[in-house]
Amino acid sequence: MTMIVVAIMSILLVNRLTRQDEENQQLELLLALPLGRLAPSFSAIVVLFLANGLLALVTTIGLTILGIDSIDFIGSLSYSSALFASGIFFGAITLLTAQLSNNQRGSMMLSYLVLGVSYMVRAVGDAGDLWLSYLSPLGLLQETQAYVANYFWPQIVIVVISFFIIGLSMRLREKRDLGSGLLPDKRGKKSASSFLKTTPGFILTLQKVPLISWFVAMLLIGLSYGSVLGDLDAFLSENEVIQQIIGSTEDYSLTEQFIAIILKVMAIISTIPTLMVFHKLKSEEVKGRLDHLFARPLSRLRIYTWYSVISVLTSIVLLTIAVVSLAGAGVYVLDTGVDFMTIVEANIVYLPAIWVVLGVMGAIYGLLGKFDGLTWLYLLFCFVLIYLGDLLEFPDWLMRVSPFYWIPELPMDNFTVWPLMSLTGIGLGLLVIGGIGFMRRDIRQN
């Protein structure tokens, strides 16, 4: 699952530094200077290596200093190097797809297609013919066997393949014209569809590729978590640190308690695309594109409301996809008496907490038009409280700062309606405050 997250990070990073900058005509300005034709692509690869290298370094050091007997330095290094290799490979794939497609949406979709196929090939190989897993970079990197055999040859093979892909991408970049792609373009429609002419249709079209990408990502994350639930009891019973993180109790199995933590983490992850959808309103304002909308008979309230509604719907859809895939895979391998609907209900209750975080971004952006990036820090803070709060023994008053703290941890806690209603009201109230501020303040004051 972690390799998938690192792969997604690298895909987004390389796509942003290559095809997206090219589509926004920023590379055209740079290449007007005395720069080599391949300089932007080479710089993107350097950033890719630095980002994944830093991630591997921090992960190795962080796991080692935990001081757990079974988590030694060599094992942590092999684990981190597998993450590094995964990021480099899919970053290289994205550099290649950036040459094939003439737009960032197509490039990103091709990269996610490779990631999805890699996951499915690995899954089929693990379930049957093991040799088939070797055809997938994810399956090959699993042969690292971190903390057991600590092999390093899979990472070396993947990195070498990545260099070949990077070399091919550079060669293709030399041949194609700026702003074009090597794959033939499909013919566009002569006229816009009826849905595109509506406000929600226009907003969704602008974010179609990111939303599809997150749909695939949440599906894979849910399947990844769910597929390992059947082996957790044996692993968790021997790991005191993990038991401290999940706050073990004798009334429920370790697997059930671990599921409660995983559901919180998945709720945090689902909050990211929710905020990204709403943040698109800010980016459209900064780029001056809102002026084109407001030049037409469209009110500020209508634009703000639709962005808020689509953000809320995004949280519902993506969280549902994630938990349904987790529950589906988990019930198939799980033998703890937890049924499908119990897991689904235990995750859906986190929606009001997501809406509170969305409301924080809406209020800050609507009132000030800036500093809404602080919401990302708040979300990171909530994640730290959820994942490390019990281990680090944070005070209770600090834990209450996170809206996720107030959500009942089903099935261990009793279901109560009032915190869900209260959080929903707070989230809605913050969005209303942001809407009022958005209607009154000046546009593009950043």
| Cβ proximity of 83 and 5 under 8 Å | no
- pLDDT value of position 392: 65
- pLDDT value of position 395: 80
* Cα gap 97→184, rounded to integer Å: 13
- pLDDT value of position 408: 82
- pLDDT value of position 125: 75
DSSP-derived secondary structure letter, 335? -
Q: Which helix or strand (DSSP H or E) is residue 372 part of?
A: none
What pTM was computed for the model? 0.73
SS3 444: coil
- pLDDT value of position 132: 78
Nearest CA among 411, 116, 100, 99 for reference residue 259: 411
* Cα gap 222→256, rounded to integer Å: 16
* Cα gap 54→422, rounded to integer Å: 41
- pLDDT value of position 340: 73
| Cβ proximity of 224 and 330 under 8 Å | no
Nearest CA among 353, 343, 349, 358 for reference residue 417: 349
Helices (H) then strands (E): counts for the chain: 21, 0
Joined tokens for residue 243: 């038991």
Q: What is the CA radius of gyration of the chain?
A: 23
CB atoms within 10 A of CB 206: 15
Angle between helices 199-206 and 254-286 (to 10 degrees): 110
Joined tokens for residue 180: 């074009």
Q: Give residues with Cβ within 8 angstroms of 145, minimum separation 6.
A: 78, 151
Joined tokens for residue 77: 């290094």
Q: CA angle, corner 160, sides to 158 and 161, nearest 5?
A: 65
Q: CA angle, corner 314, sides to 444 and 186, nearest 5?
A: 80
* Cα gap 106→172, rounded to integer Å: 17
| Cβ proximity of 390 and 244 under 8 Å | yes
- pLDDT value of position 446: 44
- pLDDT value of position 254: 66
Q: Which residue type occupies 214?
A: W
Per-residue pLDDT of the chain (446 residues; tens, 9 = 90+): 788 889 988 998 999 888 888 877 777 788 778 878 788 889 999 999 999 999 999 999 988 887 777 788 898 999 999 999 999 999 999 999 988 888 777 888 888 889 888 888 887 776 666 777 888 898 889 888 888 888 999 999 999 999 999 999 999 988 887 777 777 766 767 777 788 888 888 888 888 878 887 888 888 788 777 766 666 666 666 666 566 555 555 666 666 777 777 888 888 888 999 999 998 888 888 877 887 888 788 888 889 999 999 999 999 999 898 888 887 776 666 555 566 777 777 778 889 999 999 999 999 998 888 888 889 888 888 888 877 666 667 788 888 888 988 888 776 667 788 888 999 999 999 999 999 998 888 876 44
* Cα gap 388→251, rounded to integer Å: 22
CB atoms within 10 A of CB 39: 14
Joined tokens for residue 363: 């209020």
- pLDDT value of position 91: 94
